[in-house]
Chain A
Amino acid sequence: MSFIYIALNTFREAVRDKFLYLLMGFALLLILVARAVGWVSAGLDNKVTTDLGLFAIWLFSALVSILIGTGMIYKEIDKRTLYTILSKPIARWEFVLGKYIGLLLTSTVSLVGLSLAFLIYLKALGSPIDWAILQAIVLTFFEIVMVTALAILFSSASTPILSAIFTFMLFAVGQLTQWLVDFSTVVKTGSALTTRLLDGVYLLLPNLNNFNIRQQAVHATSLGKTFAIPPDQMLAAILYSLSYTAAVLLLAVLVFRRRNF
């Protein structure tokens, strides 16, 4: 159970990082400014405010995971603190898992903080808050669960800058994987192999678009729905996130085990 101590320590270390507060500050600013953008939207302020608020929560929570997470393991190696940890009776997988949980805890605190601020702000402005919006926030959390695992994977294998680039690229590509399927249908190469290859890449890459229900959440009330998506779909997305995360973490452990310290 040593990973719990590592996780708590990682969390403590992350919350001392001023960069976290800088990101959260920007996110809060975007949420607050959303209303001002709403004012110039010709009477459609509620929708624009909710859109931008959910967008800010999603983007900045992901940035917290990527920008703080990608340097996490590298920093331990660079400052040589890793040696003192690994010399103790702590398995490498425990170290990786601890780092992951600590980082996820940090991202969760940031996500919850931003979400609470957003919901209180919406309530204060008299905008409707419904289950669909909470559903969108919950799915954003499960997206962050995956993005954090990717950040840890790259952090265990590379330098912070490269890790940040790789993770961000995968984060962006993960939003657009449906494109690959469309591409294989639209571009008629005549080759079944190409289609299968593209379908394979589609299934292999993290499909982060599964967690993007923000648009449905914003319109759920006006469409007379309680939830943005049916519970079955939500459950499938959550299980996808957990299984993909577990696979990525295993890969991270594998990579970390093969490194010489």
Chain B
Amino acid sequence: MELPAAMGDSETARMHERAEALELRVRQLAYIEYGFYLWLGLFALGAVLLLAWVFWPRKRALTSKGFVDLADGIPAGLHVERHTVGIIGGVLVLMLFAITQQLRVDAHRGFIDDQTARMERELREATAHARQEVLDEAHPTAAQLADAGFQARIKKAEAAARQVIVDSHYLYQPSAPFLRKIFLNNDSVAADYVWLTSLQYVSSPFRRGQKADLMVKFYDTILELDPHWVGALETSGRLLSALESSRTRAEAFFNRAITHNPDDYRLPFQAGLHYVVPPLDPKQLPEYSEKAAFFLTMAMKRKSTPPEMEHGLKDLIGRLSTEAGQYQAASDTLWGVANDANAQEQLRINASREWLFADSLLRASKWQDAVKEFKQRFGRFPQSLGETRQYVLEGSNSPWPAWFGPSQKGRDPIDAYGYAITYNPPTGKVDSRGAQCARAIQTHYVIESLIELFHNEPENLRNPADMQELSAWGRAYYQRIGGAPAPITQALGLEIDCTASPLGGSWDYNPLTGELILPPDCEVSKLYANKAAALEGRRPPYFK
């Protein structure tokens, strides 16, 4: 398809291309810049040696062999003649002068110009190709062609194509097939070389801003040269994860590495762990936890997984499934660990606690589903959970679980902790009181540590007057130190809101003592009373 003159090789497009070519030229000249300082240093050293030879005063000094020129003193100590120093200096100066001239010639005629010309050609071709692809795909009419939105789409495609070319030059690295031949098919040693080379770039300023782009090229080369070098692949994935705030690139790399090593547990294990670290934005936590649970489950299914890791992994997968909102899977997994006689005692106890939490949320979520269905059918929320149950038993076609059964008529639904399943008719929100208490206990520890921080600040030396003051101070404090740690953001959100209690409403706070007062049912020993039954394999009842 021929391009209309109005939007074809426009002046703007040419200016863009030229600007990018110049940007590349600047980057290429930077190589010479770095080299230039090195040459300059060596040139200066050569000049100093030469001057020392010419101007060093000729005084006599005593050595073991008798009097020699003082000028020969130091060189004599090194067993070289004074003239040798001068000659080396002269050779250095002349050679470096010659090399500097060679670089100048190259800068004018050779490498840089060739590179720039090639780059310009590639950019032009890529831009035209990208434009043609958009046109071929859309088959635009004349009206569409004149449309600013369509032109913007073309410009975007052109820019993306140009970026690919710029990156391919800027982040150039020898390919795996090339290295394979250079190393005479010693792929493993070639991979060692690439690995050792890559390590120096992880923290150096080289290609800062595009570090992850650079490193992923190294790691893909290693993967191609030595696909079974799991140790390096694991570390590569971890480094990629650390280099970018988004973890998708590390995940993609792990997936490529897992494809080459389908029987090795370490790669899916590492891929899972890299999602266990909480995200900066707590809203992403369910997604991250789901991915972590997915990879860790994959690792657990591998034959190579050490048996001693099994129970710990299951416990972790269970907790992650809870965070991901997959309560059924979480409840089943954690129940399995809590009731596995082969698991460590402490792990079983922890799993039973986590199971109480996951199963309570599971029960609440089932009621929530029933409430949603009710709302869809009648256009309003049910008045109570009793009405919800009546609807479930009499009107719904959904296969609800046994705990809605008629035998429980007249009894109140409870969570795994033995606490009430709470329901708010105006909002239609169902929750587990036990799970609310568990969250409140965790959050209250976080807030109390924040109160302590507030109190220890030299300008404060007192407790905050209320939670609003603490929230405002917390926001300012963490902004000052570059962001709040994950446990704080997970408990209080990115906006550090200390006012809302997981129990609903606001906290009961005593500004005199600086303590948050939890209601009596949130007392730890009372909350976890059903733990013992869970450890013995007895599920708490669904109604009271």
Contacts and interface: CB of A to CB of B under 8 A. Distances in A.
Given A40-B196, A44-B232, A215-B226, A176 B188 contact: no
A42 interface: yes
A116 to B, nearest CB: 21
Interface string B277-321: 000000000000000000000000000100000000000000000
A26 interface: no
Contacts of A43: 231, 235
Interface string B183-194: 011111100100
B543 interface: no
B189 A55 contact: yes
A99 B138 CA distance: 75
Contacts of A176: 181, 184-185
Contacts of A1: none
Given A40-B196, A42-B199, A215 B231 contact: no
Interface string A41-81: 11110011001100100100000000000000000000000
Contacts of B181: 176, 179
B186 A212 contact: yes
A37 interface: yes
A218 B188 contact: yes
A108 interface: no
B528 interface: no
Interface in A211-232: 212, 214-215, 218-219, 222-224
A246 interface: no
B228 interface: yes
A256 B164 CA distance: 60
> Secondary structure of the A side of the interface?
helix
A37 B229 CA distance: 17
A135 to B, nearest CB: 15
B516 interface: no
B163 to A, nearest CB: 29
Contact of A175 (B184, B188, B235): B184
A172 interface: yes
Contacts of A51: 188-189, 192
A209 interface: yes
Contacts of B187: 215
Q: What band does the interface of chain B fall in when counting residues whose beta carbon is under 8 Å from A?
A: 20 to 34
B263 A41 contact: no
Nearest to A219: B228
A172 B184 contact: yes
Interface residues of A, number: 26
A143 to B, nearest CB: 12
A205 to B, nearest CB: 14
A40 B185 contact: no
Given A43-B235, A222-B228, A52 B199 contact: no
B195 interface: yes
Nearest to B226: A215
Nearest to B184: A175
Given A215-B226, A224-B304, A41 B195 contact: yes
B234 to A, nearest CB: 10
B235 A55 contact: no
Nearest to B229: A47
Contacts of A37: 192, 196
Contacts of A172: 184
Nearest to A220: B228
B185 A44 contact: no
A219 B185 contact: no
A81 to B, nearest CB: 36
Interface string B173-213: 00000000100111111001001100100000000000000
Interface string A14-52: 000000000000000000000001001111100110011
Given A41-B196, A176-B181, A214 B229 contact: no
Given A176-B181, A219-B228, A44 B195 contact: yes
Contacts of B263: 223-224
Nearest to A174: B184
B367 to A, nearest CB: 49
A179 B180 CA distance: 11
A84 to B, nearest CB: 41
B230 A222 contact: yes
Contact of B192 (A41, A212, A223): A41
A211 to B, nearest CB: 10
Contacts of A223: 228, 263
Interface string B371-405: 00000000000000000000000000000000000
B515 interface: no
B264 interface: yes
A209 B199 CA distance: 30
B232 A222 contact: no
Contacts of A219: 228-229
Contacts of B184: 172, 175-176
Interface in A154-204: 172, 175-176, 178-179
Given A51-B189, A222-B228, 7 more contacts: A41-B192, A43-B235, A47-B231, A55-B186, A58-B186, A218-B188, A223-B228
11 contacts: A44-B231, A52-B189, A52-B192, A58-B186, A172-B184, A175-B185, A215-B188, A215-B226, A222-B230, A222-B264, A223-B263
By Cβ-Cβ distance, the 7 closest A-B pairs, closest first, are: A215-B188, A175-B184, A219-B228, A44-B231, A175-B185, A51-B188, A55-B189
